[in-house]
Structure 1
Amino acid sequence: MRKYFGRGWLRKVYSAVCEYALRWLAVLPAKKNKVVFDNFGGRGFGCDPKYIALELLRSEEALDLVWLARDLTEEFPPGIRPVKYGGARALYELATAGVWVDNFKSAMRVPKKEEQYYIQTWHSSLGLKKNERDAAQLDRSYVKRARKDAAATDLMYSNNGFREEKYRKRFWYNGEVLRCGHPRNAVLMRPPEAVRNMVRGAYGLEADTRILLYAPTFRSRADREVYRFCAGPCLKACEKRFGGKYVCFERLHPNVADLVSEAEEGDRVREVTDYPDMQELMAAADLLVTDYSGSMFEFMLTGKPVFLLAKDLNEYVEEERELYFSFDELPFPAARSEEELACRILSFDAGKYREECRDFMERTDMREDGRGAEVIAHIILEKIK
């Protein structure tokens, strides 16, 4: 009996069912006006796909906009149809879409038809950490998935020459790289007061309360301690240097969201990892503290201060990722402890900071106009028509 009903038998049955399903999906016709969006494998309404979808809604065209989501209880704007990520229905939506929009090289994918158009938005506009072919170690299964994703992709885009070159040479990608703004950055270039009020209201802040946003990147180690931030000295330094009352918003990377714990230091620290849109948090924040996250380059566009807290710099570079830029090449004041960071805040020179940010943007050929959503939405509408 084990010969016929062991694990090998189950694998064969599973493979046969998957092969049949893919063949069935392959013959389904694509609907030109259907656009399917995915953000970090169903992690909510955010990043570039969100702002492209909102721009398409404003077009008032007859579109079927589908969002693949793990949590179907999340609220979506009228006109966007959520579908459970990872299920048979999601595969059906992908197979019958005219356009795919994804910021992540998802393992959930159906064979792409010739008439379908795939935009890979990626989730970093510049990036500090080496990735894709530049990364020292990559899992074989990821490389296989990345190559397959690149072969299916029709369009990538970048707001800077540095990343444009990486897309062309280091992402296994041979298609078009468009120079345009990143859709999610419009809210940073021209932050609506309504967004700031919405974020403050979500966490019960008074109108005059200022926000220090702490947003570290992820490590492969499942250790809460490496993300611990003693906010007290830095909040006091912010109040002394910039004035007003400050609170700390702490946001962990989606890859380590399960390490979220109750925020400490009373009502001065708020845990905001579950807030769906990092761009809105940055638009509302008055100051960013991060370590190696590419969010530093997006927050820079606001003109507000970015500070780096790299307590494990040597270990991170040796054990996790090498960096494209040394800290000396970056325009952001850096520290190795909270006490040193507080000193950097107190001695912050706004004029010098603005000048160094301009120089860095020139060196990386960064041009951001906040109109990326309009550009990409126009391309999608042209493909549909």
Structure 2
Amino acid sequence: MKLKHRVNILIFYILRIFPVQKNKIVVSNFGGRGYGCNCRYITDEILKRDANNSLDIVWLTEGNVDNLPQRLRKVPYDSFRAMYELATAHVWIDNIRKPPFVRKRKNQFYVMTWHAGIGFKKSEKDSIQSLRKSYIYAAKNDSKMADLFLADSDWHYNVYRNAFWYEHEIAKCGLPRMDVIFRDDPLLKKNIREKLGIPDNVKCVMYAPTFRAQNDESSIGVYNLDWDKVINALQSKTGDTWIGLLRLHPNASHLCERLNIPSNVRDMTSYPDMQELLLISDCFITDYSSAIFDYSVKGKMAFMFALDLEDYIKDRDLYFAFSELPYSFSKSSDELAENIRLFSEKEYAIKIDEFFHKRCGLYEGGHASEYVADRIMKVIES
């Protein structure tokens, strides 16, 4: 164990001289990367219940977060102050593993929302051969501390039980970030499009590839998409005008400036909330990102496209065979364009229903944020 790690553990124990503050909640999203994912939607619901502003809600952040509500108190993620806030908060909310030196106290409550539901890539214990020993240690420590995990389906529940070193409560409530997808609020969609300057008569296709183990400039090629072919195919299929939205995974965001992005495609990699982009998109394309499940659960048109399938499977085993999935898979831009032209909405709807409800046992209903916020308020008021 490294000296810095030992020192940080010691700091957490020393900080126990300060009492836990019953009204304090500390939230962290992707290690400080913006106001989004499950953490955002739980926090939004908690704020609705806190009419008297009696709660001290701390948001751990790596830098400026443009869409952070003023009611929240910003604290740098990797700081001594953050350690103090964690040591004295009544409730923690997170969507990735906490650093391995973090130590929870008995009278604290930890909601681990995770950042994916139904997914392609095997994770945690199921992909243990690809994990660093330091990560495995952190994951086990994090699961030991957690009081509540959130599942979106029977499939998801079983993955938690089998692969996350976790033995405590799992709420079969759905994922808070999915509430906005299920509610499908026309006014919210209009407001987001206006904020981004997208005209009402223009449709959006989002391309959101995930990251690779070789996450440097040598992997640039796998993120390339022939936007002209895709947009032309969509326009031919629908008769509408289309623009593209590019969203790289946070772990690959540094590669954006190296990609050739056409003028009719917008780089949305730094946009803080993926769910808002999913909500306004009319078509979704990915390689192996679980975001396709978030996007398509209501039956919206989605496609899979990747240039490196064999290499990717060697590096990262998948939970599903592609034959089980409701999406066509393309290994070239020409094949993708052809699959767009051949897309059958009726056949797709049947496949979507079979996959989510019969194969996975979906729990989603648009009320997960309310469920989790109610649980947290009960903990605070107890």
2:94 maps to what in 1? 102
Equivalent position to 1:125, from 117, 124, 147: 117
Q: Report the structure number with the largest CA radius of gyration.
A: 1
Give, as a single letter, the amino acid of the residue that structure 2 aligns with 1:384.
I
1:268 maps to what in 2? 264
2:297 maps to what in 1? 301
Is residue 2:335 matched to residue 1:343? no
2:318 maps to what in 1? 323
- TM-score normalised by length of structure 2: 0.94
Could you list the per-position Cα deviations for residues 142-198 of structure 1 after superposition, in whole angstroms to 9, with x for gaps in the alignment? 000000001001010212001101111210001011101210011111222343234
Query: What is the SS of the residue equivalent to 1:65?
Result: strand
1:214 maps to what in 2? 207
1:27 maps to what in 2? 17
Equivalent position to 2:352, from 345, 349, 357: 357
Give 1:91 shift: 0.8
CA distance in 1, matches of 2:100, 2:89: 15
Could you list the per-position Cα deviations for residues 28-76 of structure 1 after superposition, in whole angstroms to 9, with x for gaps in the alignment? 2111211111111000100000000000001125211111011135341
Contact 1:91 1:109 in 2 (8 A): no
Equivalent position to 2:34, from 18, 35, 44: 44
CA distance in 1, matches of 2:173, 2:105: 27
Give, as a single letter, the amino acid of the residue that structure 1 aligns with 2:34.
G
What RMSD in Å do the two structures reach over aligned CA positions?
Answer: 1.7
1:7 maps to what in 2? none
CA distance in 1, matches of 2:8, 2:206: 44
Query: What is the SS of the residue equivalent to 1:266?
Result: coil
Give 1:26 shift: 2.1
Contact 2:27 2:94 in 1 (8 A): yes
Query: What is the SS of the residue equivalent to 1:177?
Result: strand
Contact 1:215 1:290 in 2 (8 A): yes
Mapping of 1:247-266 within 5 angstroms?
247-261=243-257, 264=260, 266=262
Number of corresponding residues: 373
Name the stretch that deviates more: 160-169 or 50-59: 160-169
Contact 2:220 2:258 in 1 (8 A): no
CA distance in 2, matches of 1:79, 1:127: 34
Contact 2:111 2:146 in 1 (8 A): yes
Equivalent position to 1:79, from 53, 62, 71: 71
Is residue 2:237 matched to residue 1:241? yes
> Unpaired segments of 5 or more residues in structure 1?
1-10
Query: What is the SS of the residue equivalent to 2:294?
Result: helix
Could you list the per-position Cα deviations for residues 63-96 of structure 1 after superposition, in whole angstroms to 9, with x for gaps in the alignment? 1111101113534113211111101111111111
Is residue 2:133 matched to residue 1:140? yes
CA distance in 2, matches of 1:74, 1:294: 26
Could you list the per-position Cα deviations for residues 87-140 of structure 1 after superposition, in whole angstroms to 9, with x for gaps in the alignment? 111111111100000000021753111000001000001111001111132110
Name the stretch that deviates more: 195-204 or 227-236: 195-204
Could you list the per-position Cα deviations for residues 208-259 of structure 1 after superposition, in whole angstroms to 9, with x for gaps in the alignment? 1110000011101122221111111110111111221101101100111111
CA distance in 2, matches of 1:367, 1:101: 21
Could you list the per-position Cα deviations for residues 258-287 of structure 1 after superposition, in whole angstroms to 9, with x for gaps in the alignment? 111266453211111000110000001001
CA 1:161–1:92: 2 relative to 1, 3 Å: same
Is residue 2:274 matched to residue 1:284? no
CA distance in 2, matches of 1:203, 1:58: 26
Is residue 2:50 matched to residue 1:60? yes
